[in-house]
Amino acid sequence: MSNFLKVAFTGMLLFAINEASFCEEKHDFQNTKNLDIFFNLYKQLDQYYVDSIKPEKTIREGIDAMLESLDPYTNYISEDELDDFKFLTTGEYGGIGSMVSSHKGNIYISEPYENMPAAKAGLKAGDLVLEIDGKSVKSKSISEASEMLKGQPNTTLKIKIQRGEKAKPQIITIIRQKIVISSVPYSGVIGDSIGYILITSFTDKTGEEFKTAFLDLKKTKNIKSLIIDLRGNGGGIMEEAIKVINYFVPKGMEVVSTRGKVKQWDRVYKTTSEPLDTQIPIAVMVNRGSASASEIVSGALQDLDRAVIIGDRTYGKGLVQTTRPISFNGSLKVTTAKYYTPSGRCVQAIDYTRRNPDGSVGTIPDSLTHIFYTKNHRLVRDGGGVTPDIKIADDKFPNIIFYLMNDFLVFDFATQYASKHATIPSVSEFAISDTVYSEFKEFVKSRNFTYDRQSEKALKDLEDVTKFEGYFEGAEPEFKALKAKLTHDLDKSLTIFSTDIRQLLGSEIVRRYYYQKGQIAFSLQNDKEIKKAIETISDSKSFANLLTTPVK
């Protein structure tokens, strides 16, 4: 290298170093400047604002607004909120083991968990909660009532409840316990020797719970194929998702990688253990509610051509969060990286760095996504969740379903039914008979039930527009005829949508007798997506072709 080139190169290097140093100093100055502005601004407000300012409320709102401008997953967790955060990652808390619901200012027991303190003490779904430890819960929110029920294990709790409108209130004493909610609440056999495992979240126990369920199905049920249901699973701990993948792919295979600002934290995750089964055919069920760790599992098994993915496109959360401790026992859950499936794609659907003028963000259009390839050279894309190999759009429930649920009519009828029937047939034999459905229809009518008819609303809006534009007079006869056909008819609606309503009603009633497992088993019987998965996985030739045929 000539002396001139050496001097030029040295000059460029020094310039780059000085430039980087200048940028870093400028960034540090901006941090110091703006933090000083914030501190002095709050100090002035605290001293001179006309009313008293609560620092914990005002500053918390400022923190939340700051973090909200980044992404929905970067959050401040105060010391008071750590127990709730711990529950999300471990499924553990101290309490009685029951869900509660709220309707018209009243708190009800909605689901006592099987074999837990609430159920053992005799609490039933539908019980009206009047007091908790002598304190009224009237007009309390669900979160407020839940907090009153929680507490240290082995502490005593007294709940005053009323079972039925005319029944005398009674006090039930319960001893709180450590409650552990399983992230794998159901497993069983469906179809012809097809195993089914539902994963509702990824906590620190998911890997072991899944392993136990799978090995039990193999050894005692002799299953020949497997359906993993991740529908509605919003994710959780990434390492637990990797464990589930590891059970079905060879040791030493890359399943996910993470990349972020701090390069020392970038990692490539490979399977570290010998698998449980590398041959069993697998179908993975997903939908719009499947996110994060669920997408790591479905994305990796798809990229490695180890499973057929069935359902609707997943949510598209390709961001990784890390929890960092901060002062006063708080924590910052901060997005530190993006994750990438084995093919190299990131499923993140929203770019939070590119916001519209109003602050909103939109999903990445398909035209801006990129092509990647699976192990067998099948085409997959980034930027919008995991696209299933077999697409099935989520069912759109009729409008009346929402209002029946919102008005507690399904819940109340199930409570009434359970009070009159000590037992019901097994889950596989139970069904809503015509007699029971007729009773439900009369029950709904007796409550003077009304619901919002979107078709009538749309017609009214169209009528207003045509009047404004001067076209209504010529179309008035057609409007009158259409309005007559769309006249609110509750009995007709209950008949038209009876299939969906019967399923919902049956599910709620079954839950009163067979708890969550029974409810899940009942719902699976008429699940069209599960039926499609059974059909797909049962055709071995077609199933194999789905995983081996390259897409051009």
Q: Is 124 a catalytic residue?
A: no
Closest alpha carbon to 176 in 133, 140, 128, 126: 133
- Please give the pLDDT value at position 164: 85
The bridge status of strand 128-132 relative to strand 225-229 is unpaired
Inform me whether the pLDDT recorded for 44 exceeds 80: yes
From the list 160, 205, 243, 317, the catalytic residue is 317
Would residue 303 show up in a list of annotated catalytic residues for this protein?
Answer: yes
pLDDT at site 70: 92
Identical fold at 92-180 and 186-394? no
Helix (H, G, I), strand (E, B) or coil at 212: helix
Q: In the prediction, which pLDDT does 449 show?
A: 87
Instruction: State the Cα–Cα distance between residues 97 and 108, nearest whole angstrom.
Output: 14
Q: What is the pLDDT of residues 396-445, one digit of tens each?
A: 778 889 899 999 999 999 999 999 999 999 999 999 999 999 999 999 99
Task: Give the architecture-level CATH label for domain 186-394.
Answer: Alpha-Beta Complex (3.90)
- Dihedral sign computed on CA atoms, order 189, 190, 191, 195: negative
The predicted pLDDT at position 466 comes to: 80
H-helix segments, 269-335: 293-303
Sequence spans of domains, the chain: 32-69, 92-180, 186-394, 399-452+488-535, 454-485
Q: Which residues contact 341 (CB under 8 A, 6 or more apart)?
A: 255, 256, 296, 299, 300, 302, 303, 347
Q: Among the listed ranges 105-109, 326-330, 449-453, which one has the minimum average pLDDT value?
A: 449-453
- Identify the CA nearest to 270 among candidates 292, 245, 293: 245
Tell me if residue 409 falls in helix, strand or coil.
Answer: helix
Give CATH for domain 92-180.
2.30.42.10
Is the predicted pLDDT of residue 12 greater than 60, yes or no?
no
Angle at 419 between CA 150 and CA 526, to 5 degrees: 85
Can you state the percent helix, strand and coil of the chain, rounding each to 5?
45, 20, 35
Mean pLDDT across the chain, nearest whole number?
A: 90
Element (H, E) at 213: helix 206-220
Residue 23 predicted with pLDDT over 90: no
**Is residue 9's pLDDT more than 70?**
no
Q: Given phi > 0 = left and psi -120 to 50 = alpha, else beta, which region is 193?
A: left
pLDDT 10s digits, 356-406 = 777 778 778 878 889 999 999 999 999 889 999 999 987 777 888 989 999
How many whole angstroms separate alpha carbon 413 and alpha carbon 287? Answer: 30
**Collapsing DSSP states into helix, strand and coil, what is residue 229?**
strand
Residue 427 to residue 97: CA distance in whole angstroms:
23
User: Shortest CA distance to 449 belongs to which of 503, 396, 488, 499?
Assistant: 488
pLDDT in tens, 302-326: 999 999 999 999 999 999 999 999 9
Q: Which of 277, 166, 279, 184 is nearest to 230 (CA)?
A: 184
Query: End-to-end alpha-carbon separation of the chain, Å?
Result: 49
Q: How far apart are CA 549 and CA 239, in angstroms?
A: 31
Q: What is the pTM of this model?
A: 0.88
**pLDDT average, residue stretch 122-143:** 95
Could you tell me if 488 and 453 are in contact, meaning their C-beta atoms sit under 8 angstroms apart? yes
The reported pLDDT for the residue numbered 6 is 55
pLDDT value for 15 = 54
How far from chain centre, in Å, is Cα 509? 24
Nearest alpha carbon to residue 379 among 550, 188, 538: 550
Whether residue 137 contacts residue 129, with contact meaning beta carbons closer than 8 Å, is answered with: yes
Percent of the chain with pLDDT over 90: 75
* 341-361 per-position pLDDT tens digit: 999 999 999 988 887 777 778
Annotated active-site residue in 127, 229, 303, 382: 303
pLDDT in tens, 512-543: 999 999 999 999 999 999 999 999 999 999 99
Q: Which DSSP category does 236 fall into? A: B
* Residue 150 near residue 174, CB atoms below 8 Å: no
Catalytic residue among 182, 201, 292, 294: 292
What does each C-alpha distance from 275 to 54, 189, 278, 360, 490 come to in angstroms? 55, 22, 7, 44, 55
pLDDT tens digits along 234-258: 999 999 999 999 999 999 999 999 9
Which pLDDT score is estimated for 201? 97
Whether 33 sits among the annotated catalytic residues: the reply is: no
CB atoms within 10 A of CB 54: 9
CB 240 within 8 A of CB 256: no
